Amino acid sequence: MSLQSALETMQEVGGGLKAKMAEKANALSSNAKIKQLGQYTVTPESTRDNCMTTNTGVKVSNTDDWLKVISDNGTGPHILEDFHAREKIHHFDHERIPERVVHARGAGAHGVFRLFESAADVTCAKVLTDTSRETPMFVRFSTVLGSRGSADTVRDVRGFAIRFYTDEGNWDIVGNNIPVFFIQDSIKFPDVIHSGKPEPSTEVPQAQSAHNNFWDFMGLQPETSHMFMWAMSDRGIPRSYRMMQGFGVNTFALINEQGERTFVKFVWTPELGVHSLVWDEALKICGQDPDFHRKDLYAAIDNGAYPKWKFGIQCIKEADADNFDFDILDSTKLWPEQLVPVRYIGEFELNRNVTEYFPETEQVAFCTSHIVPGIDFTDDPLLQGRNFSYLDTQLNRFGSFNFNELPINRPLAPTLNNQRDGFMRHTITEGKVNYWPNRYSSIKPTPASGGSGGFETYRQEVNGFKQRKRGPKFYEHLNQATQFYNSMRPHEKRHMTNSFVFELSKCDDPQVYTTMIERLNMVSFELACTVATQVGVAPPEKPFKTEYPTAAIQGVSQAELTGNGSIEGRRVAILIADGFDLGQVTEMRTALAAQKAVTFIVGERRGPIKAAGQEESSKYEEGLGADFSWESGRSTLFDAIYVPGGAGHILKMKQSGRVTHWVREAFEHLKPICATGEGVDFIQQAVVLPGVDLALSEQSTEVVNSYGVITSRNVGLTNVGDVAKQFSQEMSQHRNWAREDAGLNLKV
């Protein structure tokens, strides 16, 4: 392949793919909710003559100078009369609304839900029974503790709130990426959140659970044990919002046509698998790219790599409700899949980015109480209080009950009732009366009639005494925490141990970390001993229990959730300097682009990098344009690294400590690394792979895969494809845990 044709091929790969994606994006831009939002969307073209106006529609002639009384020296006092200037400043002064008290930092996207199996046996909710429907959705991902301006990749639980704009009204599942919660009763929510938020005396730390107050609360409140094990696992540092499971956490009820009740938990699992960052990487990204997750989501959707989740239900019949050794209404317990299998009945895809952040992602107002006929609440003591809190908090954020009239919250189902007026009322309702009953009876409550009639609460018998108490099974807090730990693979256990060590080492009050070691001993003697030694506390003398549970929970280890082998949206850095082998780069890019991975050229400088053979040319613009320089990019922001051949470029790379660090850091973070031709020499210099002499492959076209480092020294153009195949296979597994098991990551 000539240099010229190689460059042209690369342009075609990029251009063709983009055009195809744009086509798909247009086709998808028109679900009913998107059309509805279109009525409220303005563009420069929708104005008169592209002219800026005031908020009352008057064309503006000057927006740079406040109206003044100008004296001879060219200055003078402002005039209050300037209605445009006052409107502009007033508006700015009032631009902020209170940020969410939790989950303040978020990223949203639009999508669509498709049902492939009717759940009519358990519910009459049309959204879960009518397989011919496509239901528009809006989803918001978030961190919990940090404020709006905090970083994305902190260790934290992630919010995963999903809204279905059904024909019967909005249905929200305000979920998380972890299936259990810290506390059992909603009255304790302010306590758990206060303990995690910045300490009141100093307002530090920001977006961190690694401080005295958080671990003080965890140590003193045994019911948190299961959830803090999850938060300290890899689930607390997801690689991408696209690679997280979602859980409704609370126990809801489904009601079928016959009026029968089934207890249900909702779960959704990503097609791309559940994957996480490694801790060192997550920490670095907080500084290198605090918007890492929101950018990742935006870029994937923008490039047509639409993330998808299978949507499932776990059901327990009313008659079986008492047959478990935990209370099925306790949100600190999950329903193990081996006991209650997930029935996947649908899927959703996010296929459209928001047009403007504030009116969509910031103003979306989720409430657990937004349900539709066929779905109902249970006595889950966490859910009951949530139903109160979400509506209350929206009133604080919006200052008015009319927040459901905002475009993003407005249901697709028509709304009509006698609730009128209030701040910022938009709707104009015809008619003479705003009360019921009235002499016209034009609108009236409608009796329940399956999924399409009025909402009717399940007829549940309730009797008892007013008390502040929980059911007897609520008092067992440790079994599932231990079972979760038992379910982890060795590398997952190692990561958990290290996170406890990190977090508790940030606490400087010995009472806090000593109590926490006691608490950990209640979950696992082994874990408590390892953490204690590292944190500087005497390990417990003996196990807290004579026998800890030995069972594991199915489906909770991320090793069981690696996805469908796709590498869509994976970011691959190609490291080059002048004199690189353009043929190899072209072949590799084409092979990866075919699988919708996104490649980036990272060069010795940004701008054109000359391929071997082009070096003599004096024209600056010749060469392959680098997206980043070795200095401006960082290995942490990519999923994998490729170093192509080219004697000249390898010579330069070997002289750069920065680019050597790139490869070593990626190796330490267990990422797939690929090298061809002379690129292999560079890898050999940068990392240590015991028992593998990469030079051996010099004489053959063999592709060597050692701990996720894929090399082919004597690669002919014909087999870059084979190398790419092994490279993408390795990428689809996300990280090479065997490298960590062998301790190689720390030997670079």
List, as own/partner pairs, every contact residues 392-397 make where C-beta atoms lie below 8 angstroms and the sequence separation is at least 24, other chains included.
393/100, 393/101, 394/365, 394/367, 396/98, 397/97, 397/98, 397/100, 397/365
Identify the bridge partners of residue 600 per DSSP, sorted by sequence position: 573
Please identify, using beta-carbon distances, which residue of 179 and 219 lies nearer to ligand HDD: 179
Residue 69 tokens read as 């009384």
Strands laid side by side in the 571-576 sheet? 628-629, 598-603, 571-576, 640-643, 673-676, 709-712, 704-706
Please identify, using beta-carbon distances, which residue of 363 and 745 lies nearer to ligand HDD: 363
Identify the bridge partners of residue 162 per DSSP, sorted by sequence position: 139, 173
Residue 117 near residue 346, CB atoms below 8 Å:
yes
Please identify, using beta-carbon distances, which residue of 386 and 519 lies nearer to ligand HDD: 386
Known binding residue 390? Answer is yes
- Helices and strands, counts by H and E, the chain: 20, 19
- Measured distance CA(59)–CA(51) in Å, rounded: 6
Q: How many residues does the chain have?
A: 748
Q: Which residue has the tokens 């209605």?
A: 83
Comparing CA positions, the residue from 508, 527, 507 lying closest to residue 517 is 527
Please identify, using beta-carbon distances, which residue of 84 and 163 lies nearer to ligand HDD: 163
- Least distance in angstroms from the C-beta of 377 to ligand HDD: 13
Please identify, using beta-carbon distances, which residue of 38 and 190 lies nearer to ligand HDD: 190
Distance of CA 214 to the CA centre of its chain: 23
Please identify, using beta-carbon distances, which residue of 331 and 697 lies nearer to ligand HDD: 331
> Is 734 tagged catalytic?
no
- Least distance in angstroms from the C-beta of 360 to ligand HDD: 11
How many of the other CB atoms lie within 10 Å of CB of 104? 19
Residue 399 falls in which region: left (phi positive, over 0), alpha (psi -120 to 50) or beta: left
How many of the other CB atoms lie within 10 Å of CB of 637? 19
- Least distance in angstroms from the C-beta of 202 to ligand HDD: 23
**Exposed/middle/buried for residue 452 (C-beta within 10 Å: 0-12, 13-18, 19+):** middle
Comparing CA positions, the residue from 701, 697, 705, 700 lying closest to residue 729 is 705
Q: Which residue has the tokens 């559940």?
A: 274
Q: Which residue has the tokens 């209050």?
A: 80
How many of the other CB atoms lie within 10 Å of CB of 342? 20
- Least distance in angstroms from the C-beta of 93 to ligand HDD: 24
Please identify, using beta-carbon distances, which residue of 99 and 257 lies nearer to ligand HDD: 99
Please identify, using beta-carbon distances, which residue of 480 and 590 lies nearer to ligand HDD: 480
- Least distance in angstroms from the C-beta of 195 to ligand HDD: 14
- Least distance in angstroms from the C-beta of 403 to ligand HDD: 10
Question: Which amino acid belongs to residue 681?
Answer: D
**DSSP letter, residue 538:** P
Please identify, using beta-carbon distances, which residue of 162 and 567 lies nearer to ligand HDD: 162
Residue 184 near residue 223, CB atoms below 8 Å:
yes
- Least distance in angstroms from the C-beta of 242 to ligand HDD: 17
- Least distance in angstroms from the C-beta of 197 to ligand HDD: 12
- Least distance in angstroms from the C-beta of 176 to ligand HDD: 4
- Measured distance CA(682)–CA(448) in Å, rounded: 71
- Pairing state between β 571-576 and 709-712: unpaired
3-state secondary structure of 746: helix
Catalytic residue from among 31, 84, 103, 275? 103
Please identify, using beta-carbon distances, which residue of 100 and 571 lies nearer to ligand HDD: 100
- Least distance in angstroms from the C-beta of 580 to ligand HDD: 45
Residue 601 parent element (H or E): strand 598-603
Please identify, using beta-carbon distances, which residue of 281 and 327 lies nearer to ligand HDD: 327
- Measured distance CA(53)–CA(55) in Å, rounded: 6
- Measured distance CA(66)–CA(84) in Å, rounded: 9
Comparing CA positions, the residue from 341, 332, 165, 339 lying closest to residue 251 is 332
**Interface positions with ligand HDD (CB under 6 A):** 100-103, 106, 140, 142, 159, 161, 174-176, 181, 186, 189, 249-250, 331, 364, 366, 382, 385-386, 389-390, 393
- Least distance in angstroms from the C-beta of 311 to ligand HDD: 16
Please identify, using beta-carbon distances, which residue of 357 and 502 lies nearer to ligand HDD: 357
Residue nearest to ligand HDD (CB): 159
- Does the bond joining 359 to the residue before it have cis omega, within 30 degrees of 0? no
Comparing CA positions, the residue from 176, 333, 141, 350 lying closest to residue 248 is 176
Catalytic residue from among 31, 84, 170, 176? 176
Helices (H), 257-335: 279-288, 292-302
Residue 625 parent element (H or E): strand 624-626
- Tell me the chain's radius of gyration from C-alpha atoms: 29
- Least distance in angstroms from the C-beta of 181 to ligand HDD: 4
> Is 176 tagged catalytic?
yes
Residue 643 near residue 683, CB atoms below 8 Å:
yes
- Measured distance CA(306)–CA(199) in Å, rounded: 39
Residue 439 falls in which region: left (phi positive, over 0), alpha (psi -120 to 50) or beta: alpha
- Binding-site members are 390
- Binding-site members for heme are 390
Active site residues: 103, 176
